[in-house]
Amino acid sequence: MTEPIRCVPENAIITGWDFSTGAVKCLAFDLEGNTLAEARIPTDLWTANGVAELNLMQLEGQARSITRAIANRLKELGRLQDWIAGGISATHHTSGRIDRDLLQVRRAICWNDHSLAHFNEVGLKRLGGQQKAKEYTGGPWAIRYSLSHLVKDETQISPEDWKRTTRILSHGSLAAGYLTGVFDRTSVSCAASTGIMDLRTKAWRKEMLLALENPLYQQLAWLQLPTIVDADEPLGLLSLDVALENGIAPAKRPLIFPTSDDQQAGLAGGGAANPGQIAIILGNSAVVNSSSDGVPSEGNLDVMRLNWGPYLWMRCYNNGAQFLDKILGDKPDWVNLEKEARMATPGCEGTMVLPFPNPEPSLGIHEPRFEWLPALPSSSGLKFRAALEALACLVTLGVKAHEKAGQKVTRITVSGGIARSELMCEILASMLDKPISTLESFEGPALGAATAAFASLELHMRKQAGIKEPFTIADAMAKMIRFKRVVQPNKNWVEAYQKLLTQFKLKIGI
């Protein structure tokens, strides 16, 4: 039995902001998870010389402008007064530096910045290796973790900029700051993706800053880290200036709760509340997430911590929807592609694509490997199906990594833009030889952020009212997350896809 709602008004609207490296969106949901309004704007990254960086002045503008747009949509519906709270999803590991005037010291370095591998290697050597990282934090220090940014900063920014920095903040904590004016706090979820937080105690570990060579920079970085706070304590109200700009009465400003990094948000948006439940997000990156009461028993999965307690196990690939964009272009005819691809046989008559326009360190692929074997097909349908099969191979390897690490899979959900393809879901279910559940909403991170905010809001209001019974994220998911259908494996495809997966592993050398 799920816990009933006792405090949040039944007409309440909860927003979910989703700040990604491809776009920013804000969706307004009712308490049943229905989308009432939405707004979307693009993101432009600085990508010269192989980096991926986000200008913080752009992020500030995005936070304000997307909020203006969603407020206008709610005004048109006559529902602005019902907007009671909001949650934020933003990219894991992405982080930037600001000074005392909240101005950018340097752009935010993004999760998919491929210049970081060298600095991660240098930092690990100084630290004493990956075993030391696990000793200090309970998990590995992966390349994309934002501690790698600080090692890079030693060689890239001036001593004056190190001293001018007042805060080093994650993508989501920065966005939350621009919305609330609060820049000195961060969530467990965000702190976990830095590589500096001890996953067991949910506190910073100063020893991880030994990855920096300069003792002064070690001390400065320690002072520039924000305070880690509980998820059920709001960061604050939407700032007064943003509210007044959008016609929101000072007394009716929504509460903003600590950020979910996009992996936590994707897990929540995928309805994966309990150990054994895996959430696959097929977005700009292909991601396989699960939660657990402990760390993986073996393997090299990324490990983080969820705002509501358990550990997050993650396999996040650098390649996903961006790989499909490279093959299909900006505006493909999805309906016809799906029809043509269904006419091709599983395995595409021996045609295979290695889906790595970006490196994939978790698979030992340190340079791009985007290659058609034996040759690029002329048929667009064959090309599309081979691309979906390649992504299914990636995801299947991710699920198997979770199982090998000790996860006993009880349910698999799939969300994200590519999950709109029924063929993709059928291919994936057949390669896994397991049923997968699809969601009514494809907006996993935004819905997950709103669901987490709803759980935090109800719990926060209960504490204020002296109600002792807890309200959990699972209770909130039961209200807001709705499943669409279960996709069963196609038994006529299973054997062919087991062979394809074996061939794929041989081609990439694992």
DSSP for 154-207? HHHS-HHHHHH--EEEEHHHHHHHHHHS--SEEEHHHHHTTT-EETTTTEE-GG
Residue-wise pLDDT tens digits, 83-116: 999 999 999 899 999 999 999 999 999 988 989 9
| pLDDT reading at 330 higher than 80 | no
| pLDDT reading at 1 higher than 80 | no
**pLDDT of 461:** 97
| pLDDT reading at 441 higher than 90 | no
Residue-wise pLDDT tens digits, 57-90: 999 999 999 999 999 999 999 999 999 999 999 9
Residue pair 22/284 in contact (Cβ under 8 Å)? The answer is yes
Shortest CA distance to 312 belongs to which of 264, 266, 361?
Answer: 264
Residue pair 207/136 in contact (Cβ under 8 Å)? The answer is yes
Residue pair 18/448 in contact (Cβ under 8 Å)? The answer is no
| pLDDT reading at 196 higher than 90 | yes
* Mean per-residue pLDDT over the chain, rounded: 95
| pLDDT reading at 294 higher than 80 | yes
Quote the percentage of the chain above a pLDDT of 90.
87
| pLDDT reading at 256 higher than 90 | yes
Residue-wise pLDDT tens digits, 461-481: 999 999 999 999 999 999 999
**pLDDT of 443:** 85
| pLDDT reading at 190 higher than 90 | yes
Burial 70-104 (b: 16+ CB within 10 A, else e): bbebbeeeebbebbbbbbbbbbbbbbbbbeeeeeb
CA 162 to chain centroid: 28
Q: What is the mean pLDDT of residues 185-204?
A: 97
CATH 3.30.420.40 range(s) for the chain read 13-258, 270-439+483-508
Q: Which fold has domain 270-439+483-508?
A: Nucleotidyltransferase; domain 5 (3.30.420)
Global pTM value: 0.92
**pLDDT of 491:** 97
**pLDDT of 299:** 87
Q: How many CB atoms lie within 10 A of CB 22?
A: 15
Q: What is the mean pLDDT of residues 383-397?
A: 97
Q: What is the mean pLDDT of residues 351-372?
A: 93
What does the alpha-carbon distance between residue 164 and residue 13 come to, in Å, rounded to a whole number? 40
Q: Which helix (H) or strand (E) holds 25?
A: strand 23-29
Q: For residues 63, 66, 72 and 77, what is the CA-based torsion angle, rounded to 10 degrees?
A: -110
Q: Using 50, 70 and 90 to split pLDDT, how confident is the model at 391? A: very high
The amino acid that residue 284 corresponds to is N
**pLDDT of 493:** 98
Is the torsion defined by CA of 308, 314, 319, 320 positive or negative? negative
Say if domain 13-258 classifies as CATH 3.30.420.40: yes
Residue-wise pLDDT tens digits, 129-155: 999 999 999 999 999 999 999 999 999
The separation between the first and the last C-alpha atoms of the chain, rounded to the nearest angstrom, is 44
